[in-house]
Amino acid sequence: NWEDKASNLVALAEELNLGLDAFVFVDDNPVECGLIRQVLPQVTVLQIPSRLHELPSLLLKDGLFDTLRITDEDRQRHRLYQGEAQRKGMRREHASIDDYLASLETVAAIHRVRAEEIPRVAQLTQKTNQFNVTTRRYSEQDIRAFVDSPKFAVFSLAARDRLGAL
């Protein structure tokens, strides 16, 4: 498309329902990098070095692409994005928000965190988004300690609709 890169990043963030702070912009053009830094200060900007052999080091520094562990949800992420795109399309087909929500047939279940869910729970605490705006981050060991402690009750919420997991 012919939109500027900043507008494209904003549109992509909205489409994926991610904060701009989740994006890393990589470009070889210092003007483009400067523009993104100025217009979208939440976005991490990396300028491709003139010595291309330095690029891997640049991408690996600061742990921007580190993951604690790949979870089942990570493996299914493309399906989650596809479902969200379908939901947005369905919204336009309904006259009211109530009709739209009813058509989704959403169900939710809450339960105590199970051992196999601990990696995902820990992963979610590492993010800053609409669900976690604190500065508290917990490792899998931390979550396991909470689950095993009689002082804490740790719960998980799972939701899905007719298009899949939410």
Q: What is the pLDDT of residues 9-41, one digit of tens each?
A: 999 998 888 889 889 999 999 999 999 999 999
Q: Is residue 151 scored above 90 in pLDDT?
A: yes
* Cα angle 42, 47, 50; round to 5: 175
Confidence band (pLDDT; 50, 70, 90) for 160?
very high
| All domains in the chain, ordered by first residue | 5-63 (3.40.50.1000), 72-165 (no CATH)
Q: Which residues pair with 47 in a beta bridge?
A: 27
Average pLDDT, the chain: 89
Q: CB–CB of 78/138 below 8 Å? A: no
pTM given for the model: 0.54
C-alpha 1/C-alpha 20 separation (Å) is 20
The per-residue pLDDT for 125 is 86
